[in-house]
Amino acid sequence: MADHHNSSEKHEDKKHGYYTGDIHNQFVEEHHVENAVGIIWRTFWILLAITIFEVGIAFTSIPHDILIVVFILLTIVKAYYIIAFFMHLKHEKVSFKYSVLLPFVLILFFIVMAIVEGNYLNHMG
């Protein structure tokens, strides 16, 4: 027998969560994250430190090519922290994580192609 729960009913579930309200009206658990606020602020400090470091080394006399690599790596680190913790992707199902992140492997390919093209244009046209 189908057990219909109305998502607008305010009853306390033993599991903390809610009914999605869409056609499946599935119960989605809001799994409890330990020290959620602490993790949020820690992520903020990490992002701030990386940004200050980036702006700082921009003014040193480190060779520009090395700087570029460092900037891009640090930006990817910042992106990881924002996606994993602020957007909560770390706590989602693995299959969902992959469906969001795998297309960017294609973007990586695009970037490599574009750099090759840009280099070619620089020397030839």
Partner 1 sequence: MASETTVDQPSKKVWGGGISPFNVSWGKMYMWFFLVSDAFTFSSLIIAYGVMRHRFTEIWPKANDVFTHFPFLEGHIPLAYVGLMTFILIMSSVTMVLAVDAGHQRNNKSVAKWMLLTIIGGFMFLGSQAWEWYHFIHGTKQGAYIMFDGQVARPFVDYKTNAVDLNTLVLPSGEKVTGAAAEAIKAKSEHVHGANMIKNEYGHPLFANFFFFITGFHGFHVFSGVMINLIIYINVLNGVYVRRGHYEQIEKTGLYWHFVDLVWVFVFTFFYLV
Residue ranges that bind partner 1, judged by CB under 8 A: 2, 4, 7-10, 16-18, 20-24, 26, 28-30, 36-37, 40-41, 43-44, 47-48, 51-52, 54-55, 58-59, 67-68, 71-72, 74-75, 78-79, 82-83, 85-88, 92-93, 95-96, 99-100, 103-104, 107, 110-111, 114-115, 117-119, 121-122, 125
Contact indicator for 78, 47 with CB cutoff of 8 Å: yes
What is d(CA 103, CA 110) in angstroms, rounded to the nearest whole number? 11
* Shortest Å, Cβ 113 to partner 1: 9
* Shortest Å, Cβ 17 to partner 1: 8
DSSP assignment of 81-113: HIIIIIS-GGGS-HHHHHHHHTHHHHHHHHHHH
Number of residues that make up the chain = 125
